[in-house]
Amino acid sequence: MTQDLEMKDRSTPSNSVSSPAPSTLQHLKEIASLIETGSYSKEVRRIARAVRLTIALRRKLTASAISSFLDHVLTPGSEVHAKLSAYLPKEDDHEMEVDAATSAIQTPAKHLLPELEIYCYLLVLLFLIDQKKYSEAKACSSASIVWLKNINRRTVDVIASRLYFYYSYSYELMGDLAEIRGNLLALHRIATLRHDELGQETLLNLLLRNYLHYNLYDQAEKLRSKAPRFEAHSNQQFCRYLFYLGKIRTIQLEYTDAKESLLQAARKAPVAARGFRIQCNKWAVIVRLLLGEIPERTVFMQKGMEKALRPYFELTNAVRIGDLELFRNIADKFATTFNADRTHNLIVRLRHNVIRTGLRNISISYSRISLADVAKKLRLNSASPVADAESIVSKAIRDGAIDATLDHANGWMVSKETGDIYSTNEPQLAFNSRIAFCLNMHNEAVRALRFPPNTHKEKESAEKRRERQQQEQELAKHIAEEDDDDF
C-alpha cells in the first residue's frame, strides 16, 4: 500500500511538467525573424537586439544547431550555404536530418536578405573562435569581409561592426595582425564614404589596436588626429577609444590628458567588463604615480581586482615611501607581469619619482643633512654616490620639488622652514581642478541623455502616454543591455 502511494507521488510531478524549454535552433529562428522584421522596417535597433541575443546564446551553439539553422535560412546548394557548411564539423547525421526536416516543414524558402547572409557568417565565425579553430575562423572572417564590401545598407552596419571586430581578433589570435592593416584602412575609408558611423568607430579602434600591438605609437597618433571626430555612438567603442588614447598620451609624456582618458574609460566601462577595467586601472595607477600622485587604497581593493592589481599596489607603496631599494626589488619580482602588461618601460621612468619622493621626505625631516647621508638614505648604488646625490638635489631644487639650498663648501643640504600652504595658490588650484572635473562630468551626462522627438509640439492623450512610457522602458532596457554586452 505504501509502495503504491510512493509510486503515485513519484509519478505526479511527471504529469505536471511544463512544456520543454525552446531549443537553440528555435532561438536562432526567432533571431532570424527579428532580423527580417528589422530589415523590412529599416529599424536598426531590432538588428542590434538580434546581435545581443546571439551573444547571450553563444555558449549554447553547437555544430548541429548551426548547420540546421543554415539549412533553414539559406538555400541548400547555394554558394554561401556550401562555403559556410564546409567550416562546420560533421556530427550525428540523424540529428541533423530531423532538424532539417522540421525546419523544411515549418518555413518555405524565401528571398534571402543580405542581413541574414551576413548574420550566418557571424554565427559560424563565433562558433569557430569558441572551438579554437583559428585558421578556419581566419578564412571565414576574410570571406565575410569580401562579401561585406559589396553591401551598402544601414541595417547591415550593426552586424558588420561585429564582423570587423572578429575579423581582426581572428588574425590577432594567429599572430598575423600586421597582414590586415591595409585592409582595415580600406574598410575605414569605405565606411566613411558610406556614412557608416558605427563602422568608422569600430575600425578606428581596430586600427589603433593594430598600431599599438606593434608599438607604433606615432602612426597611431597621426591616424587618430586625422580621422573623423569620434561621436561615441557605441559606449563600448568609446571606452576602447579612450583607453587607446590614454596609452598614446602616456607614451608621449602627456600624463594629465592620459590620466583623464584612462579614468574616464574605467568609469564608463560596464561592470561585467572586468578585464578591460583592470587594464584601465593598471595604466591609470602608473600615470598617477608619474604625475606625483598616490592613488587611494580603494582603487586596489575593487571587487574582483585585488589579485590583478597586487603588483601595482606594492609598487605604489614603494613610491609612496621613497625607498629605491624596495622599488628595485618589486620591479624585479613582478618583471614578468609588467612585461605582459607592457608597462615595464613606464616603471623605469618611475625611478626618478621614487628618488624625488625620498628626497622630499628627507628635506621635511632634516633641517640640515650632509650629501653623503642623503646618498646613503636614498640607497644610491653608483661609483660616486655623493656627486650623484648633489646633482639630484640641485635638480630637485631647480624644479621646485623641495625648498632647500646647497652648501657646496661643506657638502650639506639645508632645508628651509615650511610655510603655511594656505597662504599660497595651491588650495585654489586644487578646488579649481575638482570643480572643472564635476562640471565636465555633468556636461557629459547631459549630452548622453536621449530625448524622444517632438515632445514639446503636441499634447498627448492617455493612450499615447502609455505607449511613450512603454517605449521609454524598452529604451532603458536596451541601453542597459548594450552596456553589459560583449565587452
Total structural domains in the chain?
2
Residue 349 lies in a domain: yes
Rounded CA separation 354/322 (Å): 5
More confident of the two residues 386 and 98: 386
Rounded CA separation 421/431 (Å): 14
Going by their DSSP bridges, the two strands 404-407 and 412-415 should be labelled as antiparallel
pLDDT digits (tens, 9 = 90+) for 41-73: 877 788 888 888 888 887 888 888 888 888 888
Residue with cell 590577432: 172
pLDDT tier at 97, thresholds 50, 70, 90: very low
* Least confident stretch, 160-174, 267-281, 411-425: 411-425
**Confidence (pLDDT) at 452:** 58
pLDDT tier at 103, thresholds 50, 70, 90: very low
Same domain, 373 and 419: yes
Residue 342 lies in a domain: yes
Do 373 and 339 touch, CB atoms closer than 8 A? no
Q: Is 362's pLDDT higher than 60?
A: yes
Same domain, 349 and 297: yes
Residue 234 lies in a domain: no
Number of Cβ within 10 Å of residue 77's Cβ equals 7
**Confidence (pLDDT) at 144:** 84
Same domain, 361 and 311: yes
**Confidence (pLDDT) at 415:** 75
SS3 307: coil
**Confidence (pLDDT) at 453:** 56
Do 66 and 127 touch, CB atoms closer than 8 A? yes
Residue 97 lies in a domain: no
Q: Which range, 401-415, 422-436, 448-462, has the best average confidence (pLDDT)?
A: 422-436
pLDDT tier at 244, thresholds 50, 70, 90: very high
Average pLDDT over residues 12-19: 40
Residue 21 — φ and ψ, nearest 5°? -65, 150
Residue 391 lies in a domain: yes
First to last CA, the chain: 60
Same domain, 420 and 372: yes
**Confidence (pLDDT) at 483:** 56
- The cell numbers describing 281, all together, are 586601472
Q: Sheet containing 368-370: which strands, arranged edge to edge?
A: 368-370, 412-415, 404-407
Average pLDDT over residues 167-188: 87
Residue 397 lies in a domain: yes
pLDDT tier at 102, thresholds 50, 70, 90: very low
Average pLDDT over residues 125-131: 85
Burial class (CB in 10 A: 0-12, 13-18, 19+), 221: middle
* Least confident stretch, 83-97, 248-262, 341-355: 83-97
- The cell numbers describing 358, all together, are 625620498
* Least confident stretch, 37-46, 178-187, 437-446: 37-46
Residue with cell 606615432: 218
| Average confidence score pLDDT of the chain | 78
More confident of the two residues 9 and 402: 402
Q: Is 259's pLDDT higher than 80?
A: yes
Same domain, 299 and 350: yes
Do 487 and 273 touch, CB atoms closer than 8 A? yes
Q: Which range, 67-81, 92-106, 338-352, has the best average confidence (pLDDT)?
A: 338-352
- The cell numbers describing 324, all together, are 629605491
Average pLDDT over residues 5-20: 40
Rounded CA separation 77/99 (Å): 17
Do 64 and 23 touch, CB atoms closer than 8 A? no
Same domain, 392 and 351: no
**Confidence (pLDDT) at 122:** 86
Residue 411 Rama label (left phi>0; alpha psi -120 to 50; beta)? left
Rounded CA separation 42/329 (Å): 61
Average pLDDT over residues 306-312: 89
Rounded CA separation 418/426 (Å): 14
Same domain, 393 and 353: no
* Least confident stretch, 103-117, 317-331, 402-416, 465-479: 103-117
* Least confident stretch, 228-237, 400-409, 423-432: 400-409
* Least confident stretch, 49-58, 125-134, 224-233: 224-233
User: Last residue of a domain, which of 424, 450, 469?
Assistant: 424
pLDDT digits (tens, 9 = 90+) for 192-208: 888 888 888 889 999 99
Rounded to 10 degrees, what is the CA torsion of 62, 65, 68, 70?
Answer: -70
Residue 321 lies in a domain: yes
Same domain, 333 and 315: yes
Average pLDDT over residues 252-278: 88
Residue with cell 541533423: 96
* Least confident stretch, 18-22, 144-148, 300-304, 340-344: 18-22
User: Last residue of a domain, which of 365, 399, 414?
Assistant: 365
Strands (E), 208-319: none
**Confidence (pLDDT) at 245:** 92
- The cell numbers describing 389, all together, are 646625490
Beta bridge partners of 369: 413
Q: Find how far residue 117's CA is from the centre of its chain.
A: 28
**Confidence (pLDDT) at 459:** 54
Average pLDDT over residues 309-336: 87
Residue 353 lies in a domain: yes
Q: Is 219's pLDDT higher than 80?
A: yes
pLDDT tier at 481, thresholds 50, 70, 90: low
Domain residues for the domain of 398 are 367-424
Q: Is 111's pLDDT higher than 60?
A: no
pLDDT tier at 19, thresholds 50, 70, 90: very low
Same domain, 296 and 361: yes
Same domain, 346 and 393: no
pLDDT digits (tens, 9 = 90+) for 370-422: 777 777 777 777 767 777 777 777 777 776 667 677 777 777 777 776 666 77
User: Last residue of a domain, which of 365, 393, 416?
Assistant: 365
pLDDT tier at 487, thresholds 50, 70, 90: low
**Confidence (pLDDT) at 180:** 86
More confident of the two residues 93 and 249: 249
Average pLDDT over residues 109-127: 78
